Amino acid sequence: MSKKIDVAAVAPNIGTLYPPPFDEPCLSRERRKLGDAAGLTQFGANLLRLPPGAWSSQRHWQTESDEFVYVLSGEVTLVTDAGEEILRPGDCAGFKAGDPDGHCLQNRTDRDATVLEVGTRIATDGAHYSDIDMVSPPGGKPVPYTRRDGTPYPNLGRRSRPA
Amino acid sequence: MSKKIDVAAVAPNIGTLYPPPFDEPCLSRERRKLGDAAGLTQFGANLLRLPPGAWSSQRHWQTESDEFVYVLSGEVTLVTDAGEEILRPGDCAGFKAGDPDGHCLQNRTDRDATVLEVGTRIATDGAHYSDIDMVSPPGGKPVPYTRRDGTPYPNLGRRSRPA
């Protein structure tokens, strides 16, 4: 049995669970869960493809999980409290759990960008969104997303618009 | 403050703590701890450079930590119980904690290979070495490496021979 992951055989998750209108910049985002394909459970290791215009996420920070991104191809704009930085192949960044400096990657170019993204899997993890009235409560329960005051957003499931 | 990691400023760890003669294929191995540079603690995310002839490690499996490797440049041979497989840029593999199928990456070519490697940080993690009489006990204590019968190997510290 091959130990090499058959990347082409890993079906991508396209789009996002974000409620509208926050789903808009992530509708064409593609994520292949490579670590899962190898049976890993302690962290996610995903191949992220961002078509032109797509964002990795809304700007956010995780409460309990460390995150790391490494650009493989194309060019993305990293947005944080520090401002905007261009990341090209070989560039990388890490986001410590609990650091309230939200981040996201935006593809503002006219060609695809690919990024390897890693994040620890912690059951009680949640997320705060820096620029919008949205929170992901611990463990994504009782619903994946609420307003900051705890009011649930409707859970419409995955929404996508392939590039 | 830039969130982008200054990869060039991250000094590499060169070589290995393995006792001789097991250190030999890893003496020129270079590892840049990118995740650490960003203050991450839950997993290591390392840029591994393997000069011609170098191995990522002796063939081993971790008792408690998941591992993932993604080839960035060059070509490496992945050695496991399944045999040998060539991994090229874009190829990847994962190794589930506790799966007793040892693995290592060997650069058998005449040019450098680079690999992004990720592994969960678990304090009580240990390692078993498939092809040699060596074990890394839980937490690397009381010494980093012993024989399978528990006899400690001398701890000679880091040994290197830059390429």
Which tens digit of pLDDT belongs to each residue from A36-58?
Answer: 999 999 999 999 999 999 999 99
Chain B CB within 8 Å of residue A118 CB: yes
Any idea what DSSP says for residue A19? P
Tokens describing residue B108: 């058998």
- On whether residue A4 sits in a domain, the answer given is no
**pLDDT at B63 (0 to 100):** 98
- On whether residue A73 sits in a domain, the answer given is yes
Which tens digit of pLDDT belongs to each residue from B117-135?
Answer: 999 999 999 999 999 999 9
Domain count, chain B: 1
Find the domain containing A56 and state its range.
34-132
Question: Cβ B82–A1 below 8 Å, yes or no?
Answer: yes
Would you say the ipTM is above 0.85? yes
Chain A CB within 8 Å of residue B34 CB: yes
- On whether residue B79 sits in a domain, the answer given is yes
Query: Does the structure show a pLDDT above 80 at A111?
Result: yes
The stretch B72-91 carries a mean pLDDT of: 97
The stretch A122-133 carries a mean pLDDT of: 98
**pLDDT at A1 (0 to 100):** 73
How far apart are alpha carbons B121 and B133 in whole angstroms? 24
Percent of chain A with pLDDT over 90: 98
Chain A CB within 8 Å of residue B10 CB: no
**pLDDT at B55 (0 to 100):** 98
Average pLDDT taken over every residue of chain A? 97
CATH code, domain carrying A62:
2.60.120.10
- On whether residue A149 sits in a domain, the answer given is no
Chain B CB within 8 Å of residue A6 CB: no
- On whether residue A141 sits in a domain, the answer given is no
How far apart are alpha carbons A46 and B25 in whole angstroms? 30
Q: Are A34 and A6 in contact (CB under 8 A)?
A: no
- On whether residue A10 sits in a domain, the answer given is no
**C-alpha A106: how far from chain center:** 11
- On whether residue A27 sits in a domain, the answer given is no
Question: Cβ A68–B37 below 8 Å, yes or no?
Answer: no
Which tens digit of pLDDT belongs to each residue from A65-93?
Answer: 999 999 999 999 999 999 999 999 999 99
Q: Are A21 and A134 in contact (CB under 8 A)?
A: no
- On whether residue B20 sits in a domain, the answer given is no
B-interface mutation test, from A1, A68, A73, A75, most B Cβ less than 10 A away: A68
**C-alpha A79: how far from chain center:** 13
Beta-carbon count within 10 A of B51 CB:
18
